[in-house]
Structure 1
Amino acid sequence: MNATVKVLCYKSKTLASGENPLMIRVSKNGKKTYKSLGISINPIYWDFKENKPKRNCPDREQIENLIIEKLKVFNQTILELNATQKEYTSDSLINKVEKPFELKTVDTIFKEQINILEKTQNLGSLHLYRYTYKSLKAFNGHLNFYFSDIDVIWLKKFENSLKNKNLSDNSIGIIYRTLRTVYNIAIEEKCVNPQLYPFRTFKVSKLHKDTAKRALTKSDIKRIISYQASTEREQLSLDIFIFSYLTGGINFVDIASLTKDNIINNQLVYTRKKTGKLIKLPLHPTAYKLIEKYHNPETPYLFPILSPFHKTEQQKANRVHKIIGKTNKDLKNIGESLKLPITLTTYVARHSFATVLKRSGVKTSVISESLGHSSERVTQYYLDSFENDKLSETINYLL
């Protein structure tokens, strides 16, 4: 049975002003539920037969427009429920219309997500959410507004403000992808109407630009390995780069976390922090020598990046952030000394590993497994961003 909806002047309740409230009455299966329209009227101005304000009613036009809009929303909701064959009662219908969304500000949703990431120690995402939150606040002054206020015009203004700060398209893209993710969370939590979703028109993908080539040739790698470091600090940076190159381009954060337990039967076995994927790689003799070089019985870690002093995840993250900065500074100086064609960073080791294998004729599936990618498709996209030259003869060794 369909519900019927009417607006009534509720005579059973008289306010101190002598007026009666206007109520929505929903009737379904013999049950009637009432909900106030939020306005009241002197009964002398109400036509009880026609259920509408009389011609001489003060503010008649505004009251009639309110009634028309409210009835329209209720009837549209009834049609949607009937079309999807969803069961409903008079109470649930009123709740759906009157309380479709739980209004939370952008500030509230962001802080809730940041709190979750802090509790789960998801430090990578936590950094992105905090950075995006800070960027939004710097642009708007405050985040005490609703997601419904974020439209395409707002997004374009925000984009322009970030470009005026000389942020790259990729950096802006990271901010916008994070904002889009939080907007989707707001939709899931019924904090905003999905019909207002601005990212259908504002395409975040336009903010992605292919990064410059970050892979070296095998001959360049050999030059790096032969480089004579001038300090222990520089030598450590050099060794970290070489180890990463020889062990599937392992990320710096994963290198920092490696312990003796990650060496099993002359294999490097670890779970990649970024994807959670288990990686198993045979240890190149040179990589094994580097492990022996930095062996310290007083610490479980393979390299002197972390120590037993760093107990909490935040302490570890702070330490890794500090050391990777120094390492990349050293590598940049080494690259300049060798006159390499690109800026040398820890990430170049990963790109170079993949490119050398590609040139050697190694199958994409093998490279994907080594890199810890979620699929060959990801690896192919990764490789395509380097070069499109023909594969050279297959070689069996990285060095």
Structure 2
Amino acid sequence: MIASTTIFYDTRRPLKDGTYPIKIKLTYQRQRKYYLTGISLSKEDYQKVFGERPRKHFKDIKLELQAREQKAVGIIRKLPVFSFEAFEKEYLNQLPKGTDVFSVFDQYIADLHKQGRASTAISYGNASQSLRQYWGKKNLPFAKVTAEWLMGYELYMVGNGKSLTTVGIYLRSLRIILNLAIEDGLMQKGSYPFSKRKYQIPAGRNVKKALTLEDIQKIFDYEPQTEAEAKARDLFLFSYLCNGINMKDIARLRYRNIQDDKVTFVRAKTERTSKKHLKPIVAVLTTEAKEIIQRWGNKPVEADSLIFDITTDELTPQKEVARIKQGVKTTNKYLKRIAQNIGIKSNISTYTARHSFSTILKRSGAPIEFISESLGHHDLRTTESYLDSFEDDVKKQYASVLTSFRKNN
């Protein structure tokens, strides 16, 4: 029994532009599978393409679709023994340019650069590069990205010393790409591999990053040996005092963000991704935070001026990202030196300030709703992932309750 093919106009679900995808339908032993051609048409245009006398443009589309079908027929005839798997191996590797995973990655990264989202573009670029290294081929057909393929990638990454957190970051980028492909008709929705019954992206558990209140006091009391140490210490403390604000948001603060002893800002991380109800973060400026601004703030003080000299207005988005990364790297270098000098054994960095802010508030009894709002989270589960465990002495205190009856003897 020979497999049969036909051109199939799939009107079950429109794409985001209102057109419908055209597929090659392959039937074998009463089983059917559909393969995307990368071409989609409105119902009106489809009638023109397959009308009696299609005009030049529509005739070209018809000839292209017929050529795609003939290619499928040719592959079937060459196979010694037909199977869908053997057919797909040949057919999917011959898809036209722009219809595979890496092509959509490249286009999405280019769009991010056009939007000035350089940091996000770099993140997607890293994910794409990692996936290319694993696959080892120039093109990656969407149909190849199965649950088994994803598990293989996860094992490959972990086997090469990468953390589950990194795996999760890269695969969340891939998940976005697959969703875009489904919207554009490049991938069939039934082939989507991310689900509870197929493959779930691993959620890496962050290593404890929060400092104790005692450690924070040591940093406050530390006498810097150089100006570089002083600046690193103050940027860390400013982040800690201002709701765990990260370096990118510190770099973007302007004097107009300060009003009535408060600093108000929108996280760069969420200003483009939050669809609605974008809520600014409001942090109280303590005396210590004001002193840090006084020491390191740009002069003269003007509403539109950046507060700190981490970056400048003249930089391109790409150069801004590079400048901020360098600022983080330099700050972390001196923070580690400070930690060593005062006996803090934790691996301290600028990010430690954010975790310390949230965890110390938790330990003080602050409601998780307040902490969540202060961090700018939209989901309490996100906040919970930031909250570190209690100090050892608190654990010992509660553990002693388990045998408190012995004290009464």
TM-score by length of 2: 0.68
Matched residue type, 2:307 = L
Q: Specify which of 329, 340, 346 is matched with residue 344 of structure 2.
A: 340
Q: Secondary structure at the match of 1:134?
A: helix
CA distance in structure 1 between the partners assigned to 2:128 and 2:365 by the alignment: 45
CA distance in structure 2 between the partners assigned to 1:166 and 1:264 by the alignment: 47
Equivalent residues in 2 for 1:382-397 (5 A)? 382-383=386-387, 385-387=388-390
Deviation at 1:279, TM superposition (A): 1.3
The answer for the alignment partner of 2:216 in structure 1 is 221
The answer for the alignment partner of 1:305 in structure 2 is 310
Write the deviation string for residues 84-104 of structure 1: whole angstroms up to 9, x where unpaired: xxx999959x99x99999960
Question: Alpha carbons of 1:267 and 1:70: their partners in 2 closer, same or farther (altered >3 Å)?
Answer: same
- 1:204 and 2:196 aligned: no
Deviation at 1:189, TM superposition (A): 1.3
How much is the aligned-residue C-alpha RMSD, in angstroms?
3.7
Question: Alpha carbons of 1:127 and 1:204: their partners in 2 closer, same or farther (altered >3 Å)?
Answer: farther
CA distance in structure 2 between the partners assigned to 1:297 and 1:236 by the alignment: 16
Contact 2:297 / 2:309 at 8 angstroms: preserved in 1? no
- What is the total number of aligned residue pairs between the two structures? 317
Deviation at 1:67, TM superposition (A): 9.4
The answer for the alignment partner of 1:396 in structure 2 is none
The answer for the alignment partner of 2:58 in structure 1 is none
Contact 1:267 / 1:282 at 8 angstroms: preserved in 2? yes
Question: Alpha carbons of 1:25 and 1:355: their partners in 2 closer, same or farther (altered >3 Å)?
Answer: closer
Contact 1:332 / 1:344 at 8 angstroms: preserved in 2? yes
The answer for the alignment partner of 2:230 in structure 1 is 235
Equivalent residues in 2 for 1:114-125 (5 A)? 114-125=109-120
Q: Secondary structure at the match of 1:142?
A: coil
Deviation at 1:376, TM superposition (A): 3.3
The answer for the alignment partner of 1:292 in structure 2 is 294
The answer for the alignment partner of 2:13 in structure 1 is none
CA distance in structure 2 between the partners assigned to 1:111 and 1:105 by the alignment: 10
CA distance in structure 2 between the partners assigned to 1:117 and 1:369 by the alignment: 28
CA distance in structure 2 between the partners assigned to 1:274 and 1:126 by the alignment: 13
CA distance in structure 1 between the partners assigned to 2:45 and 2:311 by the alignment: 60
Q: Specify which of 354, 357, 361 is matched with residue 357 of structure 1.
A: 361
Matched residue type, 1:305 = I
Equivalent residues in 2 for 1:271-282 (5 A)? 271-276=266-271, 277-282=279-284
Deviation at 1:70, TM superposition (A): 11
Which range moved further: 102-111 or 231-240?
A: 102-111
Which range moved further: 157-166 or 183-192?
A: 157-166
Contact 2:117 / 2:317 at 8 angstroms: preserved in 1? no
Q: Secondary structure at the match of 1:157?
A: helix
Question: Alpha carbons of 1:89 and 1:296: their partners in 2 closer, same or farther (altered >3 Å)?
Answer: closer
The answer for the alignment partner of 1:331 in structure 2 is 335
Deviation at 1:110, TM superposition (A): 0.6
Question: Alpha carbons of 1:199 and 1:124: their partners in 2 closer, same or farther (altered >3 Å)?
Answer: same
Matched residue type, 1:295 = G
Contact 1:117 / 1:126 at 8 angstroms: preserved in 2? yes
CA distance in structure 1 between the partners assigned to 2:385 and 2:182 by the alignment: 31
TM-score by length of 1: 0.70
- 1:373 and 2:381 aligned: no
Question: Alpha carbons of 1:24 and 1:260: their partners in 2 closer, same or farther (altered >3 Å)?
Answer: closer
Equivalent residues in 2 for 1:53-64 (5 A)? none
Equivalent residues in 2 for 1:41-190 (5 A)? 69=28, 91=47, 104-190=99-185
Contact 2:368 / 2:383 at 8 angstroms: preserved in 1? yes
Unaligned runs of 5+ in 1: 1-21, 27-37, 39-65, 77-86, 393-399
Contact 2:210 / 2:355 at 8 angstroms: preserved in 1? yes
Write the deviation string for residues 331-352 of structure 1: whole angstroms up to 9, x where unpaired: 1222222222421111111111
Q: Secondary structure at the match of 2:282?
A: strand
CA distance in structure 2 between the partners assigned to 1:140 and 1:232 by the alignment: 48
Unaligned runs of 5+ in 2: 10-23, 35-42, 51-61, 70-91, 272-278, 398-409
Contact 2:359 / 2:386 at 8 angstroms: preserved in 1? no
Contact 2:147 / 2:199 at 8 angstroms: preserved in 1? no
Deviation at 1:281, TM superposition (A): 1.8
Matched residue type, 1:329 = K
The answer for the alignment partner of 2:55 in structure 1 is none
